[in-house]
Amino acid sequence: MDGILPLWKEKGMTSHDCVFKLRKILGTKKVGHTGTLDPNVEGVLPICIGQATKVAEYITDAGKEYVATISIGTATETEDADGVVVASDLSPKRWTRHEIEQVLDRLTGEIEQIPPMYSAVKVNGRRLYEYARKGQEVERPKRIVRIEEIVLLDSRDLYEGDQITFDVRVVCGKGTYIRTLAVQIGELLGYPAHMASLVRTASGSYRKEDCRTLDEVKEIQEAGEIESLLRPLETALLDFPAVEVEDPLYDKVDNGQVLPQHPQLADTALLVFTKDEKAIAIYKKHPTKEGLMKPEKMFPLNR
């Protein structure tokens, strides 16, 4: 069994829980997820099966889309609704739609973020949440992330009250913390804030409408129709150029030989070689030999 299963992860489960259950449902051990979703977050979690586990990192690195509820008025230690409140300002607030959209525009593009203390980022060999659970604060590395788009989802023209919430759709790149983005929105508005809820609606080329829950996957597997859910591993490689190869280049690529650099690799990190539209190898520029390329991944069984 090989392919990518677009799973809808439900609230209350970890990504590892999903993998554990799918191994039992599908009867195979070669199952891997494509990036951790917190237990209180639901949404798209592509699952790689069999040979497709080799492309999991490319889905993890691909763009994501979320719908988040931003709450202005209180901040928490975890930056989401599960944490203890650490700051509060419930004084009356009033913004026009245009004022909020201006703030969202300021956070679009490349922005700087500091990962939350309750996160899996490693500092000095330990994950930040390990420090946080012991009440220890450590200096966290700043990172640059890319926000492609933030869209205010409701139609109100005026936002007013003691604690204001609104939904946004966020399209972003790898490494973005939406809870931190919620805090940043609050900072620009001048108040403490946190992320009240989060749903991931897309991961790479896999969207909400493509997904099935664990219960649905189990039913489809028991009906003997699981192959209908699996997407080809090539769907994880759509961000990279692809070249259909013919003999004699095919044999050289299929054997993983170091080759002269293909022209299409000049302006990209990776190049996918296919045969009959099936990926047979991913090549990259040779790290030490200029003008040459070498295999990054091989798919000998993808026929």
Decide if pLDDT at 135 tops 90.
no
Strands (E), 10-82: 31-33, 42-49, 64-72, 74-76
List the chain domain ranges: 3-61+205-235, 64-203, 240-298
- CATH class, domain 64-203, is alpha beta
Which residues are bridge partners to 168 per DSSP?
68, 152
From 2, 17, 38, 247, the catalytic residue: 38
pLDDT digits (tens, 9 = 90+) for 22-35: 999 999 999 999 98
Q: What mean pLDDT, rounded, does the chain reach? A: 92
Q: Check if CATH label 3.30.2350.10 holds for domain 3-61+205-235.
A: yes
Decide if pLDDT at 116 tops 80.
no
pLDDT digits (tens, 9 = 90+) for 95-104: 999 999 999 9
DSSP secondary structure of 50-65: GGGGGGHHHHHHS-EE
Q: Is 2 marked active-site? A: no
Decide if pLDDT at 45 tops 90.
yes
Report how far apart, in Å, the C-alpha atoms of 220 and of each of 26, 199, 208, 225 are: 10, 24, 18, 5
The values of phi and psi at residue 187, to 5°, are: -60, -40
Query: What pLDDT, on the 0 to 100 scale, is given for residue 118?
Result: 66
**CATH superfamily placement of domain 240-298:** PUA domain (2.30.130.10)
Decide if pLDDT at 198 tops 90.
yes
**pTM for this prediction:** 0.90
Decide if pLDDT at 109 tops 90.
yes
User: Would the CATH topology of 3-61+205-235 be identical to that of 64-203?
Assistant: yes
With bands split at pLDDT 50, 70 and 90, how would you rate the model's confidence at 162?
very high
Q: What percent of the chain has pLDDT over 90?
A: 82
